[in-house]
């Protein structure tokens, strides 16, 4: 006989746990937006505080930082967008001739492919039809709304940081304020390390792309380098865009140039994934390279692109929690050992 007894408290706990998991599954996109906003808030807070220390009102300081970022992003997006439109127009006009060049190049290796005929039969009106435009427009609108939400929420968090701090410290037991401050400082260090790591990897791929495209003679090298630095943030899809767009531009010049570009950029992608990213984030987040690689793979497998974006900060936060736990445990062991030593070394009590 197997007899199972559950208390009302256990039943309520299980019900609340199931409800929490259900809510988490349904609002995970909102959670990602909020976490991303907190990450940007922690990254930009030192610059806001620097302006506030120089007698700039907090609201004005936040506006200066956010509008500066917005202006830079608008300029870079305009630069990349213009180059992308030009390349698409060139592709549409020159595709049959480029396909003929590709046929001749492959024919030197004994590969027979009818690319020119297929290029002439491409139905551009179907590719850029109204239905396709609506689908891509909806996706672009969703992304734009998400970016605007993160931007506005980050600005609000930066402007309301003092009030949030006072509200949070109301729930801290007396005497535990230094411990909470230690946690907050550790989290700020983690976020700063994550942002620095991403900046380093983006600058590296942008610089490498610019050097390769300039050396090969591909036009709009600056625009494609900026694009590569941007999309480096996005896992998997970003790598495809960073390789495809410059290769497409190089193909407009010659097939040989396109091959050089695609081989060089693919080789760099392997270098970044296998060597650069684990070591850069390992240094900035104080994590072993193998942990960085496992965290990225696990996050991508569980939650896709959002999981990859948040995998490294989550792993670093887990490292902070583990370090704190081990430190507390060592302190307790030290106190216990000290008490035992004092008791052993104490003189015998005699009547």
Pick from 42-46, 141-145, 155-159, 262-266: least confident: 141-145
User: What local confidence, expressed as pLDDT, does residue 72 receive?
Assistant: 86
Structure-derived torsion over alpha carbons of residues 159, 162, 168, 172, reported in degrees to the nearest 10: 160
Higher pLDDT, 351 or 67: 67
User: What local confidence, expressed as pLDDT, does residue 208 receive?
Assistant: 92
Number of domains in the chain: 2
Does any domain span residue 301? yes
Using the predicted structure, report yes or no on whether residue 109 has a pLDDT greater than 80: no
117 and 64 both lie in a single domain: yes
Does any domain span residue 15? no
Does any domain span residue 345? no
157 and 279 both lie in a single domain: no
126 and 250 both lie in a single domain: no
Does any domain span residue 235? yes
Residue 268 structural domain: 173-329
Burial class of residue 136 in the structure, from the number of CB atoms within 10 Å of its CB (0-12 exposed, 13-18 middle, 19+ buried): exposed
Mean predicted confidence (pLDDT) in 7-18: 78
User: What local confidence, expressed as pLDDT, does residue 351 receive?
Assistant: 46
Does any domain span residue 3? no
Q: How confident is the model at residue 348 (pLDDT cuts 50, 70, 90)?
A: low
Does any domain span residue 335? no
User: What local confidence, expressed as pLDDT, does residue 263 receive?
Assistant: 92
Using the predicted structure, report yes or no on whether residue 175 has a pLDDT greater than 80: no
Question: Rounded CA gap, 207 and 268, in Å?
Answer: 11
| pLDDT, tens digit (0-9, with 9 covering 90-100), for 268-315 | 988 887 788 777 777 766 677 677 777 777 777 776 666 777 777 777
- Across the chain, mean pLDDT equals 77
Does any domain span residue 2? no
Using the predicted structure, report yes or no on whether residue 211 has a pLDDT greater than 90: yes
Q: Are 269 and 240 in contact (CB under 8 A)?
A: no
Domain C-terminal end among 171, 195, 230: 171
Does any domain span residue 13? no
Question: Rounded CA gap, 253 and 118, in Å?
Answer: 20
Higher pLDDT, 343 or 214: 214
User: What local confidence, expressed as pLDDT, does residue 344 receive?
Assistant: 46
Domain C-terminal end among 122, 138, 171: 171
Question: Rounded CA gap, 68 and 158, in Å?
Answer: 15
Question: Rounded CA gap, 288 and 279, in Å?
Answer: 8
144 and 277 both lie in a single domain: no
User: What local confidence, expressed as pLDDT, does residue 207 receive?
Assistant: 92
Q: Are 261 and 231 in contact (CB under 8 A)?
A: no
Domain C-terminal end among 148, 171, 194: 171
Q: How far is CA 237 from the centre of its chain?
A: 12
């Amino acid at each position: 006989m197997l007899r199972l007894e559950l208390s009302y408290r256990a039943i309520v706990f299980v019900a609340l746990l199931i409800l929490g998991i259900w809510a988490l599954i349904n609002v995970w996109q909102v959670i990602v937006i909020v976490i991303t906003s907190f990450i940007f808030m922690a990254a930009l807070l030192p610059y806001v505080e620097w302006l506030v220390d120089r007698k700039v009102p907090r609201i004005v300081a936040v506006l200066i930082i956010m509008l500066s970022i917005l202006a830079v992003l608008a300029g870079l997006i305009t630069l990349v967008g213009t180059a992308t439109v030009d390349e698409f127009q060139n592709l549409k006009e020159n595709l049959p001739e480029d396909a003929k060049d590709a046929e001749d190049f492959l024919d030197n290796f004994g590969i027979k492919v009818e690319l020119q005929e297929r290029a002439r039969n491409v139905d551009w009106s179907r590719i850029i039809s109204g239905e396709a435009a609506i689908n891509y427009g909806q996706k672009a609108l969703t992304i734009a709304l998400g970016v605007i939400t993160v931007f506005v929420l980050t600005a609000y968090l930066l402007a309301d940081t003092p009030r949030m701090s006072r509200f949070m410290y109301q729930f801290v037991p007396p005497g535990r304020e230094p411990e909470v401050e230690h946690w907050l400082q550790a989290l700020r260090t983690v976020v700063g390390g994550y942002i620095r790591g991403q900046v380093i990897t983006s600058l590296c791929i942008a610089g490498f792309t610019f050097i390769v495209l300039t050396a090969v003679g591909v036009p709009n090298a600056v625009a494609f380098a900026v694009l590569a630095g941007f999309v480096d943030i996005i896992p998997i899809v970003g790598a495809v865009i960073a390789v495809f767009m410059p290769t497409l531009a190089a193909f407009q010049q010659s097939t040989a140039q396109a091959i050089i570009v695609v081989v060089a950029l693919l080789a760099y992608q392997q270098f970044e994934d296998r060597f650069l990213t684990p070591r850069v984030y390992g240094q900035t987040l104080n994590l072993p390279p193998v942990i960085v690689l496992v965290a990225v793979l696990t996050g991508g497998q569980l939650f896709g692109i959002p999981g990859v974006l948040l995998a490294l900060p989550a792993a670093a936060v887990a490292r902070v929690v583990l370090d704190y736990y081990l430190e507390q445990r060592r302190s307790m062991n030290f106190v216990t050992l000290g008490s035992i030593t004092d008791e052993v070394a104490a003189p015998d009590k005699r009547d």
